[in-house]
Structure 1
């Protein structure tokens, strides 16, 4: 009889070394259960940018914005010409966020001719939409740092450059360039971008149509077959159509009517900035719109500080509704103008001295540092202003150097009929050489308005002020004042130019 008790049914026999080794091996080779992948809630919008804009970002998508979103979804190369205030920047920001969250692995590059346009406008709008929608992830302040989502190679970043090699080398299976103010982008940048498109990619070009050459223009003309083209006029917005504020921030009927009165329907400014059409500008225009737009861009991109030596151009109102304009310039950068109506010569002279004193104090140019050239249109009422300044002790104390300019005189340079013609073309050259233009829609309208012809001797002749006034419904006083400020005549003799200044002033000078 066996006295050894039977093993209990619940008792586990001691494992042998062999079985323990077998169990350990099985544990090492059996794959561990994976954590459930976190579902991307935005994948449902992969082919629905409109739904993403409305349901995720909470935006009201109007008809033309919808057209852009669908075009970007369905086409590799999309180009949009438009007027102002049609939600271009908002749409660009929506597309960048849609791609980042609904299309994992995508890369989106935002660029424009100026850093301000990238950082302050589009990237600023992108950050605002991201914050309001409480989307996951962080959008840094600097677009160059870029936005990168966790556990993904998805990227959105923005920068601007005038060096093509910095744009080269970007690749990706789902790569997209969003190019704002595309009409002003240098052609070498487009060439670099095109090289990056070889591995697959897409482009969205958005701009006011300021240039009549280059990639943006060709996309609507000779190479139209390669692009999905869209056109948006400011007059298309629901605010303009209804006459009410349906979507805040879009162009309003009042704004369109204001620009129609200010510029005129045939003005290139109205064509470009309101209707989004390429400028139908006469070949005999003194200044093209592209030149003015470039000067505005330089002003926006440059340091806003004004300091040191300056000059003042003074166009004196002749009668009625004309405006007296005092326009300072600091090198290549204009300062804020002063305008007056229905002022007599003594009052205008007083305003000149007040403004010189104010500018000296506020911009670090004391009397001891040098004189201030005040260039006055000496025709008609202007002659009275120069006389008052000539005999003013205060003008002497302020170091004012009066420079009367008789625009009706013969030009001092070959190729022009009168000095006034020379001044207008000198202003054009000043812009070509880097002159800047401060925001002033009245001034811009005056600058692009004048036409010119040639006289019997082949000299350029700008249309008269009266003829310009008929077309503009106002006198081009602001443009004339800027032309006076910019003008640099030959050296002149003190006794012939009413030179005023502190004792010991030079007897010969240049207007600057």
Structure 2
């Protein structure tokens, strides 16, 4: 670009994206880009799927091309969000123009101007350490903070000092999941310091009407999941909800590194009974939960074989030498899955040595000081794992990392509770949930099973498998 073009585009990022990158920002994306050019600090709260990763990628390329020796630190709560989404988006848009691809070098951790790797760059750093954004000095600074609701306040502290430099910029975007913290304050007590933008999915051409209608129909426009994931509003956190959405979203946005040798592996299955209910099979590797299968109308024999095959794959992948607790919703038709798993183990005990079957009945009354039944106890276990403050008031890491699943987030964060006449906590039953017009909490019940603590089995691989005996 000529010097005149650089001067023009420095104040016109929308035109830069259209002319140089070759993309067409929609109305909401254009608002974000124009705010970034005009204001030192821009905060964007939105629902899911509005194209904010594309906007941030365009902003990075625009700033590199229109400022001398810029530094662009970028952060997000998880490696997945930072590298697999934002950094991949930068790579995609650089390829849109041969000149950009020739002049700007992309690597997995750094994007820089050719010949100026240490002075003219954008860099990706996850926010799991307080010093993620420390040590950056330049007359041209741009901080990009993605999924800002999930970034710890300590990470923001060096940003505020750096923003005192004239020409420095901050762009933070995210779903408004937390009712406290730096991102929340940007829209409340510190709002005068920011140019704030609110993007509702219903106003974005990039979000499908099918997605909006599904969340509205299943959970209602007044639910926190609709407010956060569609409307881009902060949650209300109703007083009679047992696990607030903010706690669930914090877990979803927590980084996790897969171990070579996990300390524990669990499998859980919530078995569908009728109608629109789903059979959900999941597994838990240390703190991290995955959904393996969600399906309607599957018979119990097929479900048992799916679980058996999943277990075999996990044994082989992690070279397991101890049994896997397989916790089955044993009420109603779930008993058929339990029976079939027992038959599978009897038919080939050497192959299925790891299969430790644990039947669980939801809603069964228990003798407990605080909790009325098994469902309430399991919900309490999950809540404690999600909490980031221990019983003594000290901060602690999240001990359960949930999958980014809209149905799961809604089911966990809309489950209500009451107090029995014996002064015990009681979570509403699945029947009561459905009576309120909510869908069956199948994904949530699978998570409850996965987190239920059980006594480990002493089973070990049979001799001759090549593993320790």
Mark the CA change 1:443 to 1:254 in structure 2 (over 3 Å): closer, same or farther: same
1:197 and 2:163 aligned = yes
User: Whole-Å Cα distance in 2 between the matches of residues 367 and 266 of structure 1?
Assistant: 47
How far does the alpha carbon of each residue in 1:234-260 deviate from its partner, in whole angstroms, 9 at most, with x for none? 1112x3xxxxxxxxxx21223322333
| Higher relative contact order (CA closer than 8 Å, sequence separation 6+) | 2
User: Whole-Å Cα distance in 2 between the matches of residues 327 and 355 of structure 1?
Assistant: 9
1:394 and 2:347 aligned = yes
User: Whole-Å Cα distance in 1 between the matches of residues 412 and 269 of structure 2?
Assistant: 17
Q: How is 1:396-415 mapped onto 2 (pairs within 5 angstroms)?
A: 398-399=352-353, 400-415=355-370
1:306 CA displacement: 8.8
Counterpart for residue 75 of structure 2: 111
Question: Larger radius of gyration, structure 1 or 2?
Answer: 1
For 2:196, which of 229, 233, 236 is the aligned residue?
A: 229
Counterpart for residue 186 of structure 2: 219
User: Whole-Å Cα distance in 1 between the matches of residues 71 and 336 of structure 2?
Assistant: 65
Q: How is 1:100-249 mapped onto 2 (pairs within 5 angstroms)?
A: 100-133=64-97, 134-135=99-100, 137-144=103-110, 146-148=111-113, 154-200=120-166, 201-237=168-204, 239=205
Task: Give yes or no for contact 2:70–2:121 (8 Å, CA) kept in 1.
Answer: yes
1:355 and 2:307 aligned = yes
Deviates more, 1:148-157 or 1:188-197: 148-157
Task: Give yes or no for contact 1:313–1:485 (8 Å, CA) kept in 2.
Answer: yes
Task: Give yes or no for contact 1:164–1:192 (8 Å, CA) kept in 2.
Answer: no
Mark the CA change 1:225 to 1:348 in structure 2 (over 3 Å): closer, same or farther: same
How far does the alpha carbon of each residue in 1:173-205 deviate from its partner, in whole angstroms, 9 at most, with x for none? 332212111111111111121122233322111
Task: Give yes or no for contact 1:308–1:363 (8 Å, CA) kept in 2.
Answer: no
1:95 partner SS: helix
User: Whole-Å Cα distance in 1 between the matches of residues 325 and 366 of structure 2?
Assistant: 20
User: Whole-Å Cα distance in 2 between the matches of residues 79 and 368 of structure 1?
Assistant: 46
User: Whole-Å Cα distance in 1 between the matches of residues 158 and 3 of structure 2?
Assistant: 37
Counterpart for residue 421 of structure 1: 376
User: Whole-Å Cα distance in 1 between the matches of residues 19 and 7 of structure 2?
Assistant: 13
User: Whole-Å Cα distance in 1 between the matches of residues 121 and 64 of structure 2?
Assistant: 7
For 2:250, which of 275, 294, 310 is the aligned residue?
A: 294
| Gapped regions of structure 1 (runs ≥ 5) | 1-36, 240-249, 493-498, 505-512
Mark the CA change 1:168 to 1:358 in structure 2 (over 3 Å): closer, same or farther: closer
For 1:382, which of 315, 321, 334 is the aligned residue?
A: 334
Deviates more, 1:277-286 or 1:436-445: 436-445
Mark the CA change 1:341 to 1:183 in structure 2 (over 3 Å): closer, same or farther: closer
Deviates more, 1:448-457 or 1:158-167: 158-167
Task: Give yes or no for contact 1:410–1:418 (8 Å, CA) kept in 2.
Answer: yes
1:454 and 2:410 aligned = no
User: Whole-Å Cα distance in 2 between the matches of residues 117 and 173 of structure 1?
Assistant: 28
1:368 CA displacement: 9.1
Task: Give yes or no for contact 1:210–1:272 (8 Å, CA) kept in 2.
Answer: yes
2:316 partner SS: coil
TM-score relative to the length of structure 2: 0.84
TM-score relative to the length of structure 1: 0.77
User: Whole-Å Cα distance in 1 between the matches of residues 274 and 365 of structure 2?
Assistant: 25
User: Whole-Å Cα distance in 1 between the matches of residues 2 and 292 of structure 2?
Assistant: 60
Deviates more, 1:251-260 or 1:368-377: 368-377
User: Whole-Å Cα distance in 1 between the matches of residues 365 and 433 of structure 2?
Assistant: 21
For 1:373, which of 325, 331, 340 is the aligned residue?
A: 325
How far does the alpha carbon of each residue in 1:49-71 deviate from its partner, in whole angstroms, 9 at most, with x for none? 22211122222122112211221
